[in-house]
Amino acid sequence: MGLKDQLIPSGISVPQSFIDGPVDMGLIKEFVIAAEDLEYQGLWVQEKIIGEISSLEPINLLSYISGLTSVAELGVAVLIGSTRNPILLAKELATLDQMSNGRLILGYALGGNPKNYRLMDGPDSKRVRHFIESLHVIKALWTEGSPNIQGDFWTFGDLPMYPKPVQKPHPPI
């Protein structure tokens, strides 16, 4: 067994925040191509919607990265569930999983700053229930033909969404 066979699979964080200047897409392109050439298992981004630092939105950035790479897993650590509509998010992430041929890994969390929820039309109360229900909606849209949801925050019936993610039953969460 060679040294390469003994290495622990690892991922690397993609530069997506730019403190002292404009966003540098050339740097990102060079970085992800080099990381895949070096056989990093995963390329990871994070969500930072609001702030004074230029930080790229993670789903769009991973879509860009998916076109530059072919093997590395594409992970987001993490999306803040209470600030996103789960129906649109399910579609965006299924599309990304299709574009990347099944390489998406989803980190999905409640988040920590309640003032940001109000800014993004999230709930003022019942944040945990809202988060759990949003995850249920996403999984149902990914795994069922025409799901019916009767929840506290989302209610719909016979709502098909295609294409489904490549990974079955769905991308790792």
Walk me through the domains of the chain, giving residue ranges and CATH numbers.
3-114 (3.40.50)
Lowest mean pLDDT among 84-88, 112-116, 159-163: 112-116
Per-residue confidence (pLDDT) for residue 116, from 0 to 100? 75
Cβ count near 94 (within 10 Å): 23
Lowest mean pLDDT among 39-43, 79-83, 85-89, 93-97: 79-83
Report whether pLDDT(40) > 80.
Answer: yes
Q: Is 61 helix (H, G, I), strand (E, B) or coil?
A: helix
Contact present, 54 and 23 (Cβ < 8 Å): yes
Per-residue confidence (pLDDT) for residue 36, from 0 to 100? 97
Closest CA to 104 of 113, 115, 95: 95
Residue 5 contacts by C-beta under 8 Å, 6 or more apart in sequence? none
* Single-letter code of the amino acid located at 110: L
pLDDT band at 2 (very low <50, low <70, confident <90, very high): low
pLDDT band at 20 (very low <50, low <70, confident <90, very high): confident
Please give the residue that has the higher pLDDT: either 170 or 125.
170
Largest CA-CA distance found in the chain, in angstroms, rounded: 56
Q: Break the chain down into helix, strand, coil percent, rounded to 5.
A: 40, 15, 45
pLDDT band at 24 (very low <50, low <70, confident <90, very high): very high
Report whether pLDDT(111) > 70.
Answer: yes
